[in-house]
Structure 1
Amino acid sequence: MAKAAQDAPFSLRERLEDAAVALGLAGLRRLPFRWRVPVAGWLTARVAAPVLGMRRRIRDNLDLVCPGLDAATRARLEIEVPDNMGRSLIELFSPADLLQLAGQTPFEGPGLAALEAARAKGRAVVAVSGHFGNYDVFRAGLILRGFDVGALFRPMNNRLFNARYEAAIRATGEPLFPRGRQGFAAMVRHLKQGGLLALLIDQHMGHGARLRFFGRPAFTALSAAQMALKYDALLVPIYAIRQPDGLSFRVVVEEPVPHSDDVTMTQALNDSLEARVRAHMGQWLWTHRRWKEPRTRA
């Protein structure tokens, strides 16, 4: 059924959405990168966010997990969150500029030495982050530093847009592993060969474990910890944090999560991400339905 859906003719909606994206990208690419990024952020925050209901989703999530926030902070986050989304998106679709940016980005943190030691020994690494800052900056930066980086990604629902999306992320670096059976098999081979796997774990996973994130139940995939245990891989939280100028980053590599059991290790990853988000509230994707309950079978 999935293959039949992929082979079906493109729908009018797919064509219209992709045409809108293509038009927007073409216009933005006429600007120098240092202007392109803030303009994309402004358009997303001031034009797209109100139309697409992003502000309502941000407010709903903040009401759920941060009910004590004052009105001024909430209003600021309704702008900062989509602004970071727009900046990250145009950075992704500017792969040559993204690679140059990543090459100029400093890497720091207590886990950096362990990461480099793992590479020297040929030990596999599972590097875990979230939809925070711009995760493609740390992926590109690791590649430029000589790491064999593979990344798991979720194909977009719009097949025309997905072709653009895949082309952009492949221009930054490969291999890439789409979610699914074939992608998982290739991902495992990459780890067995001592590669570094980049994962994001902050999306709702209905079949995941009922862990905590911002003090609320958040169903989280255990796969990062499970693979680290099975293949004796280093499990390292890593974050590309956007700096106050809105254009530059710093990458922080935290201490590796000690091997114990998959639930304890994954909760440590959630706690790590929560601390980063609390320090930079506008850089996380508050438009996600992170705290929804899984569907129950009848």
Structure 2
Amino acid sequence: MTSANSAPKMPWRRRFLYHLQSVALHGTLALLRILPFEIASRIGGLVFRTVGPRLSADRVARRNLRAAFPDLTRAEEDRIVREVWDNLGRGAAEYAQITGLDTFDPNRIEIVGEDHLLTARDSGAPFIVFSAHMGNWEMASLAAAQRGCLLTNIYRPASNPGIDRLIRRVRSEFCAELLPKGREGARGALRAMKENRPLGLLIDQKFNEGLPIPFFGRPAYTASAPAELALRFRCRVLPVRLERLPDARFRITIEPPMELPDSGDRNQDIEALLTAMNARVEEWVRARPGQWFWVHRRWPKGG
């Protein structure tokens, strides 16, 4: 029998590095918090545009882009990758002030299709909101929360415990519950749906399991849980498109509920719904390729 005290401890070098990272992040966010929002956003974009091209993730982004858009010129590829780093940097800097944003302020955030969210909220039934890592992807949960609709989110915990605590503390101000990705998250999502609570999901993350669903013409392993839950509860599934506009402004488009397949073949219906969801995300990315998270390995090698 093993006790909690006998569990392997983190190496001291890693603990020290994580501590330095946490201190640096807290200090950076504290500084960004006192700056005007537009300036903080601009600084984040500048830093990431400078540092990003020196990282291995830059090569990942370029490889993904060339596979998705084989006709891109080198100049177009450079422009899109630059926009990707700018968007990521701005989003990171904006995190310092995310809880203070007013999603009812049309000068900062434009909301399209708000009635779809309000109708789902007032139905008393569970529903699913899904989006992607585009623009500032915290906006979907923030806008829902400020309209009396706290979403239960599934997220990937940070490897640094201190940074993970920071993320959870910030996001807990506009999320009902944060569930770690994996089996625990799946169980929590099912519980939320049984309690008639809404889920908020980003469905474009790298996934090592799931179903190989087409995304930009290549199979991308996609979590089946969103479709399984939607079909089990026959609930509304709302696609939410997130866009970054000039001058640190944003647009949130809440699209009409998706049509749920009902062929009588459960596996076929799950695959059909996931295919439709991935197609919605692909459409958003094609429209604004510089605002998507190209820097992660969404497709398996050789996919």
Structure 1 and Structure 2 fold alike (TM over 0.5): yes
Report how many residues are paired: 287
How far the C-alpha of 1:174 sits from its partner, in A, is 2.6
- In the alignment, the residues of structure 2 paired with residue 180 and residue 6 of structure 1 have an alpha-carbon distance, to the nearest angstrom, of 23
Residue 86 (structure 2) aligns with: 83
In the alignment, residue 15 of structure 2 is paired with which amino acid? Answer: S
State whether structure 2 residue 294 is matched by structure 1 residue 286: yes
Contact in 1 for aligned 2:30/2:96 (Cα 8 Å): no
1:254-284 per-position Cα deviation (integer Å, ceiling 9, x unaligned): 2322111111011111110111111111110
Q: Is the 8 A contact 1:133 1:239 kept in 2?
A: no
Q: Secondary structure at 1:152's aligned position in 2?
A: strand
Asked whether the 8 Å contact 2:227–2:270 carries over to 1, the reply is yes
Match of 2:215 in 1: 213
Counterpart pick for 1:65 among 63, 68, 72? 68
Q: Deviations over 1:118-161 (max 9, x none)?
A: 22221211111111111211211111112132111111111121
Q: What corresponds to 1:256 in structure 2? A: 257
Spell out the pairing of 1:89-108 with structure 2 (5 A cutoff): 89-97=92-100, 99-100=101-102, 102-104=103-105, 105-108=109-112
* 1:167 to 2:175 alignment: no
Deviations 1:179-223 (A, max 9, x none): 244443332222122221100111222221111111111111111
Letter in 1 for 2:251: R
CA RMSD of aligned residues (A): 2.3
Contact 1:235 1:257 in 2 (8 A): yes
Native 8 Å contact 2:239 2:255 kept in 1: yes
Unaligned runs of 5+ in 1: none
8 Å Cα contact 2:43/2:93 also seen in 1: no
| Structure-1 residue corresponding to 2:264 | none
Greater mean alpha carbon deviation, residues 88-97 or residues 254-263: 88-97
Give the percent of matched residue pairs that are identical in Structure 1 and Structure 2.
32
> What is the deviation of 1:5?
6.3
Cα-to-partner distance string for 1:47-78 (whole Å, 9 max, x where unaligned): x2033333222111112221211122111112
Structure 1 residues 5 and 66: alpha-carbon distance in aligned structure 2, compared to 1, 3 A threshold = farther
The farther-off stretch of 186-195 and 72-81 is 186-195
1-side partners of 2:283 and 2:9: how far apart?
Answer: 39
1:34 aligns with 2:38: yes
1:208-267 Cα shifts (integer Å, max 9, x gaps): 11111111111111111111111222112112211133x111111123221111110111
Post-superposition offset of 1:293:
4.5
Contact 1:94 1:168 in 2 (8 A): no
Taking a change above 3 Å as real, the CA distance of residues 12 and 149 of structure 1, as seen in their structure-2 partners, is: same
| Cα displacement (A) at 1:6 | 8.0
Aligned to 2:21: 17
Distance 1:171 1:31 in 2: 21
Q: How high is the TM-score relative to the length of structure 1?
A: 0.88
Change in Cα spacing, 1:44 to 1:176, as seen in structure 2 (3 Å) is same
Residues 113 and 51 (structure 1 numbering): CA distance in 2 closer, same or farther, change over 3 Å? Answer: same
Deviation at 1:177, TM superposition (A): 1.8
Match of 1:266 in 2: 274
Q: What are the ranges of 5 or more consecutive residues in structure 2 without an aligned counterpart? A: 262-268
